Structure 1
Amino acid sequence: MDRELSDEVIVVGGGVVGLTTAVVLAEGGRRVRVWARESGERTTSAVAGALWWPYRIRPERSAGEWALESLAVYAELAARPEETGVRLVEGVHGGLRLNRLGPWAARVPGLTDTAEGVSARLPLIDMPVHLAWLRERLDKAGGTVEKRVVFGLGEVPAAAVVNCTGLGARSLVPDPAVRPVRGQLVVVENPGITTWYTSVDAPDGRPGGGSEEGFEEGSEEGVSAYFFPQPGGLLLGGTAEEDAWSLEPDPDIAAGIVARCAAVRPEIAGARVLGHRAGLRPYREAVRLERELLPDGRVLVHNYGHGGAGVTVAWGCARQAAGLVDPGPAA
């Protein structure tokens, strides 16, 4: 191995999980590079609706702890929304009751049962701004981001490698247990809506879903409608199509999304459409967050399979992953 790289950590994957992990490692004293196939703006993270909520993620207990740890970080970042992209916004999970949630919910400030559902004031993250802020924070800590295509984790020339490749882990590890769950969004001009909303139980009986919202830990139940007020427009959703790989927005699906959201807030029906988005959530029956020793003695840490909750658990998972890389200063 190249002596120059003997104490370096390379994080493979430039989405929110990879960048957050790199920040934790760099601020813990490690030399860090991020190898990313796509830039932050082109990752799955960039198209996320990004409401903090444990959605489509397992195992339940660990996911709850990772989410709560991340919630504390986002609450602090919300003091600087223009810089970090994080705001605390009021909203309602329509049709949900507190007794359907896991133990983590009792530790979330302000969750309240109402006639409409569970109301809350939660972090809502403007992902393009947040990803840019993470890259800037990494740069200040001495880390770098490089555009690199990796064909195998064993080829990465570093003493420690952290695999944050999301759906890419399906071929890189390889791990066929990682599967895509496709989500589609419609972005419209905001007609004056300042609160977020989600509803459960899709009319066709299939799981729906947004990019970062959810209802029960590990639940396959999703949403039939949601809207999130972001600085660039009102984000409408959503879908959760298992094993669907297309990134091309479907006009019929888009029309259904708008109609479902307009049934909740009629003013959405006349809102001008600004754009369409589609992304693939990297779902796995359980997040893989573990350490592996390669035959040559190098450390490989896996941190992938976060489903629809990558933003929600990013900081909790990043800190645990950093501890697996080095139980000393970066833990």
Structure 2
Amino acid sequence: MSELVTGEAVALELRPARLPSRALAVLLDLAVAVAVYVAVTVALMVSTASLDMAAQTAISIAAFVLVLVGGPITVETLSHGRSLGKMACGLRVVRDDGGPIRFRHSLVRGLIGVIEILMTFGVVACIASLVSARGRRLGDVFAGTLVVRERVPVSTAGFVPPPPPWLAGRFSGLDLSAVPDDLWLAVRQYLTRMGQLDARVGWSMAERLAADVAVRTGAPAPEGVPPAAYLAAVLHERQAREARRAYRGAVAGGPTGFTGHSHPAGHPPPTDHPSSAGHTATGPVGPPPANPPVVPPTASSPENRPEATGGAPSDTRNGTGFVPPA
């Protein structure tokens, strides 16, 4: 992947097109252009048979320039970088900042392409594309453009495994404010790709990332917890906090400005009258009950967790891919 930075300082990840796909697209474009050029030349020869040799030569040169040079420029300008060959190969010409190209970009690419593609049979273009880190030919360098792939295969990586059930809520009191965003990104990338890594390499990476997170949080990882499971639990705790913060912000920013019940439009909320002092809409106001109702403990209560009761956690993986400690 190649990172491009737009004018608004937004980083774009694009996949540059390499020499094989670009060469196939150019061959398709040249085949179409040559077929059109041959048809136009035959039509001109029939229609200008009565002219002298100089006039026929001038018309042939004009047809060559208009069809083989002006045609690709016009097609790339009108299609915003997608010629017939590039559409067939899933490619597109874009600016260095990722934006669509304009006429001046197509003009520079087309004029230099006459030299490095037509006159040298593509040798110069191939060498320049092989030398360039992003596969650009000379026309792309002078025009400030880049050929990228539009049809990128969908990656199966991207699923972050949930933490093991026996770690749920264990890091609720951990301070995560000192962990930088790039470390969170590294943890997420590791968790999405740990199934594709070698066992020893993945274990060493998990240990290093867990140590970095422990240094930022000021609390070491619990003993006996695998580093990958620790990372998954900490990342899950961060995501849960972000979700709760976003929910509270959405509730506080509602249209009525109240976090409780809203009232119909045009009807203000009821006000208290002297005659109704000590009463509310639901009944009289009085002291709280002496014996509040007892809420039965749930499975997620701290006293019912495996580590609080002292019992050994059950091997409930539920597809997380993590094994509880022995």
Superposed pair shares fold, TM > 0.5: no
TM range (shorter): under 0.3
Larger radius of gyration: 2
Q: Whose helix fraction is larger, Structure 1's or Structure 2's? A: 2
Name the one with the larger strand percent: 1
Normalising by structure 2, what TM-score? 0.18
Structure with bigger RCO (C-alpha 8 Å, 6+ apart): 1
